[in-house]
Each structure stands twice: as C-alpha cells, then as structure tokens.
C-alpha cells in the first residue's frame, strides 16, 4: 500500500525514517534540432535490439551508482526484461573499442502517441568531459525524431550530476515542470551499496523501541 503524508507547499516537510526525496526537473523539445556535425572520436553508438540483462545492469550500475540511480536496480530480472523487450523501448549503447560506456534508453509513445521519452541517459564517469555524452545525445535525438515524433522529453533531478541540467538545456531542451520524488533509500534495503550516491546523506532509521 502506498503511504502518503501532507506536503507543506510553503515550507519544510519531514520525511518518515528511511525515505529520501529529490526535486525532479522535466524538460522537453518540441521541434527537431538541426543535424549535428559528427566529429571523429573512435566511439560508436549501437542500437541494441535484444539487450543482455547482465550487460544492461552492469552499464546502468557503472553510470548511475555515483548519482543514486535506482529505478532499474530495484526491478526484478523479470520486470526489467519485460521492460527492455517492449516494442516501444529502444536501447542504444555508446561504445569505445567495443566496450559500452554510455546508455540512451528511449520509450516511444510515452506521454502521447507522438512523444518519445529519453528515459535513461548517461556515460560512465571516466568518459565525462570527453565529448562522449554529446555524441550520445546527438545520436539519441536523431533517432528519437524519426517516425513522426512531435515531442521529445526527459527528466533530471537534484541527485544527478550537477552539470546534467545545463547539458540538457544546451542540447535544446526547455524545463516545463518540477516534481518531488520520495522513495525508500535503496542503500538501506540492499539494492545499492551503502557507498552509492556519496553526495546524498545516508541516514539509518532509528530502531523502534
């Protein structure tokens, strides 16, 4: 059963022990961007038609552990396999020397029939600042705008890389909505290591008397 609490819209709201919250920013793009000029990088973007579950989880972990990504980590193998197998889901790996270093996960029809959500996007820490994320985004947008698309959207949050919002705005996205996400801390139930997301305080719930 989903728990609810009253939210103070003009102040602070205390969360129950074991819960974390972050501010989510939604961004959208409503017109196709100009084609990007491809630069020689030695990297390639590959559409992965049938993602291997272990390979996907490993790449997701490498990209997202530092930023407390957990939405896929808390899924069972069956749940994640079903999501990845949907005809509306597209997985793209950015690869260097044949090894995946970036992930773009697109969901077609999410938010409307002519909408595409970039549901997951990121590169491994060692690729940050190398142009890898720009190459992956250019490729993801080129694919997302195929097939009669009228809107591409995504979200970032206050747990994410501090440069993420600026990167998405430079890519042509415009913020349109805030939300507050409250969840169980995935480091407390074993879905992520306790060392994950070091920029987010880990608070152990006080044992009941």
Is the pLDDT assigned to residue 208 strictly greater than 90? no
Q: What is the mean pLDDT of the chain?
A: 94
Is the pLDDT assigned to residue 43 strictly greater than 90? yes
Domain count, the chain: 1
H/E run at residue 168: helix 164-170
In a domain, 206, yes or no: no
Q: Percentage of the chain with pLDDT > 90?
A: 87
User: Three-state DSSP class for 126?
Assistant: helix
Is the pLDDT assigned to residue 41 strictly greater than 90? no
What is the extent of the structural domain holding 77? 21-31+43-184
Is the pLDDT assigned to residue 207 strictly greater than 70? no
Instruction: List the CATH number of the domain containing 122.
Output: 3.40.630.30
In a domain, 7, yes or no: no
User: Binning pLDDT at 50, 70 and 90, where does residue 1 land?
Assistant: low
In a domain, 123, yes or no: yes
Contact 119, 143 (CB under 8 A): no
In a domain, 55, yes or no: yes
In a domain, 9, yes or no: no
H/E run at residue 8: none
Q: How many CA atoms lie within 13 A of 207 on its CB side?
A: 1
Tens digits of residue pLDDT in 4-23: 888 899 999 999 999 999 99
User: Three-state DSSP class for 111?
Assistant: coil
Tens digits of residue pLDDT in 52-85: 999 999 999 999 999 999 999 999 999 999 999 9
In a domain, 128, yes or no: yes
In a domain, 205, yes or no: no
- Residue 209 or residue 123, greater confidence: 123
**Burial grade of 111 (CB within 10 A; 0-12, 13-18, 19 or more):** middle
Q: pTM of the full predicted structure? A: 0.93
Tens digits of residue pLDDT in 76-120: 999 999 999 999 999 999 999 999 999 999 999 988 899 999 999
Average pLDDT over residues 187-208: 91
In a domain, 153, yes or no: yes
Is the pLDDT assigned to residue 209 strictly greater than 60? no
């Amino acid at each position: 059963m989903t728990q609810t609490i009253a939210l103070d819209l003009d102040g602070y709201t205390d969360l129950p022990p074991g819960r974390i919250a972050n501010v989510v920013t939604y961004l959208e793009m409503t017109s196709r961007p100009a084609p990007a000029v491809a630069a020689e990088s030695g990297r390639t973007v590959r559409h992965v038609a049938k993602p291997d579950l272990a390979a996907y989880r490993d790449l997701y972990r490498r990209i997202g552990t530092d930023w407390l990504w957990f939405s896929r980590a808390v899924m069972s193998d069956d749940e994640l396999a079903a999501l990845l197998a949907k005809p509306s889901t597209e997985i793209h790996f950015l690869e260097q020397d044949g090894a995946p270093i970036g992930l773009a996960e697109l969901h077609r029809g999410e938010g409307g029939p002519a909408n595409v959500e970039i549901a997951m996007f990121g590169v491994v820490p060692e690729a940050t600042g190398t142009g890898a994320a720009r190459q992956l985004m250019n490729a993801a947008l080129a694919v997302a705008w195929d097939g009669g698309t009228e809107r591409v959207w995504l979200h970032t949050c206050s747990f994410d890389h501090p440069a993420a919002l600026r990167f998405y705005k430079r890519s042509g996205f415009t913020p349109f909505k805030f939300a507050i996400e409250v969840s169980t801390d995935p480091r407390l139930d074993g879905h992520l290591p306790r060392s994950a997301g070091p920029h987010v305080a880990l608070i152990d719930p006080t044992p009941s008397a």
